[in-house]
Amino acid sequence: MNPLRSVGRVFLEASETVGGITLVMWQILKAMLPPRFDRDETWLNLYRVGVKSYPIVIMTSVFTGAIMVIQSGQYVKATGATGLLGWGAGYAVLAEIGPVLIGLMFSGRVGANNTAELGTMRVTEQIDALRALAIDPMLHLVVPRFVSMVSMLLLLTALGDLFALVGGALTSQFILEVDWRVFFQGVIGSSLLDEYLTGLTKGVVFGASISVVSCYYGLGVSGGAAGVGRAVNNCVVTSAIGIFVWDYLITYIVNAL
Amino acid sequence: MSAAAGEVVLQIRNLGKWFGEVCVLDGIDFEMRAGEVVGLIGPGGAGKTVFCKICCGLMEPDQGSVEVLGKDLGTISAKERQGLRERIGLVFQNYALFDFMTVGDNVAFPMRQRGGFSEEQIAAKVQERLSEVDLPRVRHLMPGELSGGMKKRVGLARANINDPELIFFDDPTAGLDPVTSSKIFNLIRKTQAQRSSSCLVVSHDIDRMLPACDRYVLLYQGRIHFAGTAKDAMASADTVVRDFFGKEAGIIG
C-alpha cells in the first residue's frame, strides 16, 4: 500500500476520534447546564468508581513511593544527604509519577469497564430503550459517570499521594535505614504544595479525559461482542495517550507560569 | 392530551431511508388512526424495524415527514420530542431490558424517571402491569433469569407503564414458540382493548397475528406493496401478497 495513503488514513482516523471526543465533551457540558443530576445513578457510580478503586490505588501508590526511595537511595547514601530523600520522592510522586500511574490504573479499571458497559447497552439496544422511554442517555448515563470519575480521581490522587509517601517513609526506615521522621521532614520542609496542587489538577483533568474517552467509545460501539472488545481496546490505548498528552500540557503550562 | 377515536395518530409521507447505497425505505406513505391495531408485515430485511425506529424518533429519515400524535418529528424541539416519547411506547425485538435492574425496577423505571409518583403508587402499578402480562411473581428476579417469552412480556409491561397512546411492537414474537407467540398477540389485543391505545405490530408471524390486528401493511422491497384487511389479502390476485400470506400463514391455498 502507498505509505502516504497509510499516513493519511491514520491522520483522518485520529482527527475523527479527536473530533468525536470533543463532541461528546461538548454534549456533556451542555447537559450539565443548568446542573442536573440523576442522583441515584451518580451515587451508584461514585461507589463503583471510587470506593471499589481504592485498593488498587493504595497498592500502586505504596509501591510507587517505595520505588522512588529505593532509586534515589543509593545516591543519598553515597552523599549522606538524607534530608533530600523526602524531597526527591515527594517531588516525583506528588507532581508526576503519582497522578500518572493512578490515572493509568484508573483508566484500565474504570474506563475500560465503562466502555464495556455502555457498549453492551448499545448493542443490546438498552440505550435506544432509554431514549424510547423519554430518558436522555446523556443525562442518565454519561453525566453521572463524568461527575463520578472526575471527583473520584481527584480524591484517589489525594489518597494515593498520601500512601505513596507512607510507602516511601517505610522503605526509607526499613531498607535504607534513614529515619522516617527525616523523610517526612524532607517532604514538609521542601514546600511541595505547588507540586501537590499540580498533581491534583492532573487528577481532575485525567478523570475528565478518561470519562469522555470511555463514553465516546462505549456509545459508538457497533458490531456486537467483537465491537465491544475493539471499543474497550481503543479506550485503554486512547486514554493512556490522553493521560500523557494532558500531563505534558499541564506540566508545560505550570512551568511557564 | 390523548387522541380522540378515529383521529390520525401516525401520518407518514414520502418516507425514505438509505444505508449507504442500499435503499431500505422508498417513498412510504402511511396513515394510522386512534384505536387501530395495524400489522406491519414483510420478509426479513424489508425495513420493518427501521420503519418502527423512525416512527419512534430513534432513527432519522433521509426523506419525507413523520407526524406522530400530531407532532412532526422533523420540526419539533428536543424537549417536545421528549414529551412526545412519554406518550408512545416501544417493545423491542431483542427485549432491551436493563440487565442491571430487577424486573420490577425495569417496569418501574419510566414512571420513576417521569416523577410525581410515590413509591407505593409505583409499586402498585408495577404489580398491576406485571399481573396483566401474567407475571405477578417475578418482580425481584433479574432479566437474565427469565425465558425469552417472559422477557417479551416484561418488555410489554414496561412499554405500558405510562399508559401510552401509541405503542410500537417490533417483532414481539421473534424466537418464541407458537403457543407463547399466540399468548403475546392475545396480550397485545387485550391491553389495547383495555386502554384504547393504538398499536403498530411488526411481525412475520402472520397466522398468529391475524386475530390481533384490524388491518395489515405489507412492506416489500422498501415500499408498501399491500394495505388492507386479511379479507382483502385473501381476495388479492397479487402474487407477492398471495405468496406471502399463503406461505407464511397458510390462509390462501
The one-character DSSP state at B24 is: E
pTM of this structure: 0.85
Mean pLDDT of B170-190: 85
Mean pLDDT of A103-118: 95
Chain B interface test: which of A47, A121, A125 (most B C-beta within 10 Å): A125
Q: How far away is chain A from the Cα of B186, in angstroms, using its nearest Cα?
A: 24
A95 Cβ neighbours under 8 A, 6+ residues apart = A192, A195, A196, A198, A199, A251
First to last CA, chain A: 46
Residue whose cell numbers read 420540526: B75
Residue whose cell numbers read 468525536: A20
B202 at interface of A, judged by CB pairs closer than 8 A:
no
The alpha carbon of residue B159 and the mean position of all alpha carbons in its chain are separated, in whole angstroms, by 9
Neighbour-count burial of A63, counting CB atoms closer than 10 A to its CB (0-12 exposed, 13-18 middle, 19+ buried)? middle
Q: ipTM beyond 0.90?
A: no
| Residue B253: per-residue pLDDT | 42
Which of B83, B93, B109 faces A133 most closely, judged by CB atoms? B109
Whether the bond into B43 is cis, omega within 30 of 0: no
The H or E element spanning position B30 is strand B22-33
Please state, in angstroms and rounded to a whole number, the distance separating the CA atoms of residues A89 and B99: 46
Write out the three cell numbers for B3. 387522541
**Of the candidate ranges A184-198, A230-244, B30-44, B125-139, the one whose mean pLDDT is the lowest:** A184-198
Put simply, the answer to whether A132 touches B56 (Cβ < 8 Å) is: yes
Answer yes or no: are the C-beta atoms of B48 and B200 closer than 8 Å: no
For chain B positions 130-169, those within 8 Å of chain A (CB to CB) are 158
**B45-93: pLDDT as tens digits:** 888 999 999 999 999 999 999 999 999 999 998 888 888 988 999 999 8
DSSP assignment of A169-203, as one string? HHHHHHTS---HHHHHHHHHHTT-HHHHHHHHHHH
Please state, in angstroms and rounded to a whole number, the distance separating the CA atoms of residues B150 and B184: 10
| Sheet with strand B63-68: strands edge to edge | B22-33, B8-19, B63-68, B71-72
User: What is the percent of chain A with per-residue pLDDT over 90, rounded to a whole number?
Assistant: 67
| Residue B193: per-residue pLDDT | 86
